[in-house]
């Protein structure tokens, strides 16, 4: 029998509005930095640990990783950039890719609409009506494998 894996999906913090020539260069606002730190502190209170962190290469996601991880009580987590989890990421491709990861507790730092679509794809039940991947929202799932409707939705931290 295989053990269950933990998956956490974190949407980046509030970023400056569109208007940049390239969306991938948008940065977090001061409010976005603070909400990411608040989410990290709330995650710490859950008492859970991360084995691996995968971050979209977009600037605002990279900044979210920096501020989120700085608030955690652990320094031994592996962090990698992952081009699969941009706003246009394909949730089924990512689910298949996640199954190949050896880590048991994985954090993805990503964007909308991908974040919501991935959580919805993996969840074995309809998400609560109040579920929303607002900026700096962190959703937790658990499952033996990451496939359509194979994970239990556990909780959501939203600011």
SS3 per-residue string spanning the chain:
CCCCEEEEEEECCCECCCCCCCHHHCCECHHHHHHHHHHHHHHHHHCCCCCEEEECCCHHHHHHHHHHHHHCCCCCCEEEECHHHCCCCCHHHHHHHHHCCCCCEEEEEECCCHHHHHHHHHECCCCCCCCCCCCCCEEEEEECCCCCCCEEEEEEECC
Q: Which residue from 123, 143, 148 is spatially nearest to 133, judged by alpha carbons?
A: 123
Q: How confident is the model at residue 2 (pLDDT cuts 50, 70, 90)?
A: low
Strands 78-81 and 152-157: unpaired
The pLDDT of residue 1 is 42
Q: How confident is the model at residue 97 (pLDDT cuts 50, 70, 90)?
A: very high
Average pLDDT over residues 63-69: 97
The pLDDT of residue 159 is 84
Q: How confident is the model at residue 145 (pLDDT cuts 50, 70, 90)?
A: confident
Instruction: Look at residue 94 and tell me whether its pLDDT is greater than 50.
Output: yes
Average pLDDT over residues 1-16: 90
Distance CA 105, CA 99 (A): 12
Q: How confident is the model at residue 20 (pLDDT cuts 50, 70, 90)?
A: low
Instruction: Look at residue 133 and tell me whether its pLDDT is greater than 70.
Output: yes
Q: Provide the mean pLDDT of the chain.
A: 94
The pLDDT of residue 75 is 80
Distance CA 51, CA 8 (A): 11
Q: 146: Cβ–Cβ under 8 A, 6 or more apart, which residues?
A: 5, 7, 95, 96, 98, 99, 122
**Other beta carbons less than 10 A from residue 47's beta carbon:** 7
Average pLDDT over residues 72-92: 92
Q: What percent of the chain has pLDDT over 70?
A: 97
Q: How confident is the model at residue 139 (pLDDT cuts 50, 70, 90)?
A: very high
Q: pTM here?
A: 0.96
Q: What residues does 9 pair with on adjacent strands?
A: 108, 139
């Amino acid at each position: 029998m295989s053990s269950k894996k933990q998956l956490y999906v974190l949407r980046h913090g509030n970023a400056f509005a569109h208007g940049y020539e390239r969306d991938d260069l948008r940065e977090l606002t001061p409010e976005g930095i603070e909400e990411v730190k608040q989410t990290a502190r709330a995650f710490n209170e859950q008492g859970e640990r991360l084995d691996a962190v995968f971050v979209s290469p977009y600037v605002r996601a990279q900044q979210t990783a920096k501020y989120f991880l700085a608030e955690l009580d652990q320094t031994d987590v592996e962090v990698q950039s992952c081009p699969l989890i941009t706003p246009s990421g394909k949730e089924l491709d990512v689910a298949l890719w996640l199954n190949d990861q050896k880590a048991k507790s994985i954090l993805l730092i990503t964007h909308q609409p991908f974040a919501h679509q991935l959580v919805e794809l993996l969840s074995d039940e309809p998400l609560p009506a109040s579920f929303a991947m607002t900026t700096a929202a962190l959703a937790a799932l658990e499952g033996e494998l990451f496939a359509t409707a194979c994970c239990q939705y556990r909780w959501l931290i939203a600011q």
